[in-house]
Structure 1
């Protein structure tokens, strides 16, 4: 039995509700970044011939995960769905399947509750069909005021910082400023404003599934003062209780912001 099939009885729900009741709104993270990992291993362990089964199960879990976040009052969630490294390293059939799964997920989320969907990443690196679906989802939900969902697709943290600096330089030159002036005036806040997530709060909590404990080029700048929580469960096996335990753990920490 996989973890995703465990704990569906009344005692499980009682335990879930008990944890929820102890979470105060002011203690809940404003922004959670999620690294859904282990989809391929999940598919392999269950004997599926294709990793697509794992990626599809992972996408379904992300829809659940967003609901859990919305239900406890999280305002922003960033999902790491496809990195720039993935675009280069995945075999063509797996990447083709993954692109289709991400497109389906983005389209579905654009009709979910009052959620706002935003693509963060390089649209120019994506197949035209996926780039169009992401743009359509963003346009369809731009007036919504509920949970803000960032879909990190064709995303790389180092590349994002480079793009931010390039944007700052281009704007400075357009305004007639010199590079010397820019060098003297450049601040971390200015770079933050030009990131893909400019204007959003930085993630308070970064969660990664499958037991891996690394950032993998995800929100490098934004996570400078984030708390981290690593879950042993593979992505599709993540349970609501795992999520709530992560939130409970987060609320118990003394956040020092680098101190």
Structure 2
């Protein structure tokens, strides 16, 4: 069990006099004990994993606050703690593999529109099983649902008779709304690239901040390219029917 592994690692850190690792694991151990008290039983691996993720999230927030305040020593300490805890997380998926898993999960859940966003996220996060950050999963889910919506609009516009039957004005209005949504998604994607660049510039070459920054840039580039293509298709649809 994960809790047993953490206890074993604590003993190892104690024997090797690794004070930094020991301090981090003691903090995690205390959080797991609190979870056990709340549950009135030992936490399962999934529940323990959730505690680890919460601790990492809190540490990341602390690192960001320390960096904003110019307290680099505190920020570096937080990054080292994050690295200690991250080894208990599943290996993180690359963007291509993550996209395929999310696509399959959405197909199985029957999620095909923005109205299905909640169900889509639930299915995607379950399929990913902790192997990717929720922010990355959400960006891909929203992109895929946007593609589905655009394909539906484009299918109507490609058949003039069908478009007339379905009311071309409704199709055009839908395409315009979708284009606005995609533009907002594009802004979010560009922001990912900017934040990733900032993370890399403020991190040393081999720490968590550098790796996290690269992930943000990759997601941002993927989102920017995808939304740009979809905006072009939406614009073509509007020009065709308007």
Do they superpose with TM above 0.5? no
Q: Higher RCO, 1 or 2 (CA under 8 Å, sep at least 6)?
A: 1
Specify the TM-score bucket, using the shorter chain as the normaliser.
under 0.3
| More strand per residue | 1
Give TM-score, length-normalised by structure 1.
0.25
Determine which structure has more spread, i.e. the larger CA radius of gyration.
2
| More helix per residue | 2
Give TM-score, length-normalised by structure 2.
0.26
